[in-house]
Amino acid sequence: MNRIGVILATGALVLSACSSGTTTETEVEETSPPATEPAVETTTTLAPEPEPTGSTITLVDSEFGEILADADGNTLYMFVPDAKGDSVCYGDCEAAWPIFYSPSEAGDGLDASLLGSVDRTDDTVQATYGDWPLYYFADDAAPGEVNGQGRGDVWYVVNAAGEALVAQGEVLNQLTLVDSEFGEILADADGNTLYMFVPDAKGDSVCYGDCENAWPIFYGPAWSGAGVDGEFITLAERTDGTKQLVYNGWALYYFVDDVAPGDTNGQGRGDVWYVVNAAGDALVADGEVLPQLTLVDSEYGEILADAEGNTLYLFTPDAQGPSTCYDDCEANWPVFFGPAWVGEGVDGELGELVERNDATKQLSYNGWPLYYFANDAAPGDTNGQGAGDVWYVINAAGELVEG
């Protein structure tokens, strides 16, 4: 570190000599020395620790097209979880992906208006381009290497437009929220609507062949725009080795008959295709979330319930056919409307929809239309069990449970 040196100031001692006539004795008149000026107070100041500096950001050729690099041609990367905001790469992450520091300047072919910076928690400043904080990869040993590309499906090179490139000419998808008649729903960067498929049941996609032709895949990876929860985003590998983007467990699709951004022509198709909100819920209407059929523990063993654990019942007079419960009966035994998706342990093949005489659709399981009981006040209540010897809870096999 540079230090400011010690500065001392002292007065000079003045001597004056006088002669008198022809005498040989020399008389020296000694004057009193002037008071010494006080020394300047000594101070020691540490120079500030120099901040690492960036350099010119350049464009270099690569197998992915022209990409960002530093002045020496070392590749620069973006990190999907940053989502065009502050860096979230620290500790072991930062050790593997060293920071490209600010300030920086744009070289030929780059847009200086896309340059920026973000403050890091260690008080250093990281350079950004197109709002993406920039990094090196520790395993790139020489200029031009791109060993970090695609690592973990979250690290990618960046083009002159500030876009992340997943392949030659292929830009990283963005998952966004757009307004619709069903509220805010998921869409791609261009506003094209995305859908979930009930039979997927928050698992691997079961949409292939003709299904996939009608409902094209929203391929991953992608980064999340404003209002989209990046923690809900995962990737699922399809049987052809491609990766489909998943949000809160739901694999995402387009609909081939949506011809323009904002179209929602796929909504409700076959009672199995629905738009998805920011919470990762499938929406059947504005504010109305697709129900879930689950299994919960009870004194009668595992029984069917809704997503909140409210008990569901069958009505023996229905005799595994259309509902016969209307008017006062329906007031006491509210309908479990469909469609719904099935949770763990529930057999989706036993679920189907039956149309009621008011044209609403009731979920049935193994042929039994399902109901709530108005006097069940809380999840887990089974006050309706055995009522009138006609109302019973139902197990995972679709059988009534006595007791």
In the chain, what are the domain boundaries?
Answer: 56-170, 173-288, 292-401
pLDDT at site 301: 97
Closest-CA residue to 268 (of 197, 210, 186, 356): 197
Are the C-beta atoms of 64 and 168 separated by less than 8 Å? yes
Neighbours of 24 (CB within 10 A): 5
Closest-CA residue to 138 (of 159, 116, 155, 119): 155
Give the pLDDT band (50/70/90) at residue 55: confident
pLDDT at site 147: 98
- 203-240 pLDDT per residue, tens: 999 999 999 999 999 999 999 999 999 999 999 999 99
Residue 273, beta-bridge partner list: 197
pLDDT at site 23: 35
Are the C-beta atoms of 129 and 145 separated by less than 8 Å? no
Structure-model confidence comparison of residues 49 and 311, the more confident one: 311
Q: Which positions ≥6 away from 284 have C-beta within 8 Å?
A: 268, 274, 290, 339
Average pLDDT over residues 12-16: 31
Give the pLDDT band (50/70/90) at residue 50: low
Structure-model confidence comparison of residues 183 and 44, the more confident one: 183
Structure tokens, 131: 């709002």
Residue 222, beta-bridge partner list: 173
- 112-145 pLDDT per residue, tens: 999 999 999 999 999 999 999 999 999 999 999 9
pLDDT at 19 over 80: no
pLDDT at 320 over 70: yes
pLDDT at 34 over 50: no
Task: Label residue 11 exposed, middle or buried (CB < 10 Å: 0-12, 13-18, 19+).
Answer: exposed
- List strand residue ranges (DSSP E) for 265-330, in order: 273-276, 282-285, 288-289, 292-298, 301-305, 313-315
Half-sphere exposure of 392 (CA within 13 A, CB side): 17
- List strand residue ranges (DSSP E) for 55-98, in order: 56-60, 67-69, 77-79
